[in-house]
Structure 1
């Protein structure tokens, strides 16, 4: 549920912090999570949890004299919590602007300093320049997984943020991701011990039905091919089309990818049906299902919510995690 209200009197920082501390204790006790926005005397809050718990919290909110003109904006069932890590996240407008995306990236990892240039080159369709950069970094000793995790994935998310901010068109975003995808083929992955045990494994790498961004699916193809897997790719327009390819290929695993640039918040329910439909195609085989995309990378949903065995938070290392799941599935007798 989401509501807005007006503060009866503008709270001080101390009063606002006390309000949030009190609300967190209350929310913890009944299993409610959410976020609270405060700016210029107005509140906007989203809460999620079991209906009975939300009803209890809502009654308390309505009795609270610290705000007035309380208006319920929406109340509906959701497929998964969006704020599962927060008893209550508070955001308030700050006089000093927070560090930019690029400043935050540069503080984290040496490769992040290249992200801004990668985004620029992707939007400028400079595939050759990007390929040269990735190849140069690889020859300098950077591991393929590091290049994906610290450079390519942040660049894709920054491009998605540019689209959300209306700094580019959807066409620009899709084309830019395509350039990034093609240049990403310059990234290679070192052979490891696990690959020696997975050469007989097979995987179908599929974009989620209707998904137009295929960066992750394409880069995963390089990962699994380098590890010795038999790889097939699919870009289905429907669950039925995906089911037909699964039936024809009979793989050990399938990865179903959403956009790596945009969160696709409204796709959880549909993706769950896709996973369910895929499992029904191979009832006598323990098919390993992984899902991925920015939606999962930012922990706004988990594999359990869509019935998958793995929700990858990064493309990096996916081949190893899926290999472990396939090996385990083959060692366990299928359930009757």
Structure 2
């Protein structure tokens, strides 16, 4: 059994802070939605430190130039709960998980949350520099196992991780999506072929459906009707599968289609009402050459749509890696992770309704 698999397989529930308890390290960066004063930063640190103490979490956060960088370490179950809260916090945006992996020891054991607003701390500078360029060891291992001749170990790793996280959202953002990007990196390094990448993504998609089989859909008063589809011609379906699972769990009326042509997609939106459409490119490859085509398709979908206020979300590795933006493809927003798709749709829909109200266009219900 490899180290990462052993780590997940040995996890137990609860907030065990004993030296022998498994440790996980999570790092991320984000952008504050508005500048924070010293008082606001103090309040943030006080609240977060109390929550971290209750969860057995230690770590540090840097706030500089309206950006956050945070390092968290502790029991995997606690990390998953803290990350779920962080991902929903409206005080920051452009949240990007940089690394999540098993850790042999804590680096910030003295602090529930150390806060710094400047440079000069050698330890923090060293940690920040190394983490920004670090890789997700668990995702690398999962990617390698997904293209192995026998994928049993990949299934076991994912199942064990979900048993601990109990969160499809955390599993998606911290393990499955990074593994998909690792598969693309293996191809770029000539360590595997495109067939292997496609096979690996299909296996990840299958394993996700297995672990998500027991998921329960939330109840919402006014669910949105959302079309989820890969861009016509895109052969990698994992991104659409992850997005559909996130939307379904959130209680929305999710329709998944795989149109083979632009005309087929136009017919779908012309004959059915959708509040939003989620179009995705490959989660493994950047697909830079398809950005212009995606913009053309987004424009044609808007023209064909029964809903004049249709919200269009674009996703895929190109947007996760900031190679392309929503403006580049004429979408209302770009989604960097399925874990944030519902929030992305809500924000884009709110912005569109606000714009329409300003020019007297009736709002879509």
TM-score by length of 2: 0.57
The 3-state SS of whatever aligns with 1:180 is: helix
Aligned positions, number: 229
Give the conservation status (yes or no) of the 8 Å contact 1:225–1:231. Answer: yes
Aligned to 1:296: 319
Aligned to 1:62: none
Aligned to 2:191: 167
Task: Report the CA distance between 1:314 and its aligned residue.
Answer: 1.7
The 3-state SS of whatever aligns with 1:221 is: helix
Specify which of 136, 143, 161 is matched with residue 137 of structure 1.
Answer: 161
Superposition pairs of residues 50-199 of structure 1, within 5 angstroms: 104-105=134-135, 112-124=136-148, 126=150, 128-141=152-165, 143-188=167-212, 196-197=219-220, 199=222
The 3-state SS of whatever aligns with 2:165 is: coil
Task: Give the unaligned 5+ runs of structure 2.
Answer: 1-128
Task: Give the unaligned 5+ runs of structure 1.
Answer: 1-98, 106-111
Distance 1:239 1:325, change over 3 A: same
Specify which of 297, 309, 328 is matched with residue 286 of structure 1.
Answer: 309
Aligned to 2:339: 316
Give the conservation status (yes or no) of the 8 Å contact 2:274–2:307. Answer: no
Specify which of 237, 256, 261 is matched with residue 260 of structure 2.
Answer: 237
Give the conservation status (yes or no) of the 8 Å contact 1:131–1:184. Answer: no
Distance 1:320 1:128, change over 3 A: farther
Distance 1:113 1:198, change over 3 A: farther
Give the conservation status (yes or no) of the 8 Å contact 1:127–1:183. Answer: no
Specify which of 261, 286, 299 is matched with residue 276 of structure 1.
Answer: 299
Distance 1:210 1:100, change over 3 A: farther
Task: Report the CA distance between 1:248 and its aligned residue.
Answer: 2.6
Task: Report the CA distance between 1:197 and its aligned residue.
Answer: 3.9
Distance 1:239 1:186, change over 3 A: same
* Equivalent-residue separation in structure 2 for 1:129 and 1:119 (angstroms): 11
Distance 1:172 1:144, change over 3 A: same
Task: Report the CA distance between 1:156 and its aligned residue.
Answer: 0.8
Specify which of 223, 226, 247 is matched with residue 249 of structure 2.
Answer: 226
Distance 1:127 1:328, change over 3 A: farther
Post-superposition CA distance 1:20-51 (Å, at most 9, x none): xxxxxxxxxxxxxxxxxxxxxxxxxxxxxxxx
Aligned to 1:305: 328
Aligned to 2:110: none
Give the conservation status (yes or no) of the 8 Å contact 2:266–2:305. Answer: no
Post-superposition CA distance 1:159-204 (Å, at most 9, x none): 1111122221211111111011111224549879xx5446521111
Of structures 1 and 2, the larger Rg is shown by 1
Give the conservation status (yes or no) of the 8 Å contact 2:146–2:203. Answer: yes
Q: CA RMSD in A?
A: 2.9
The 3-state SS of whatever aligns with 2:338 is: coil
* Equivalent-residue separation in structure 2 for 1:309 and 1:251 (angstroms): 15
Post-superposition CA distance 1:96-146 (Å, at most 9, x none): xxx999x822xxxxxx33223211221026555434433322221353222
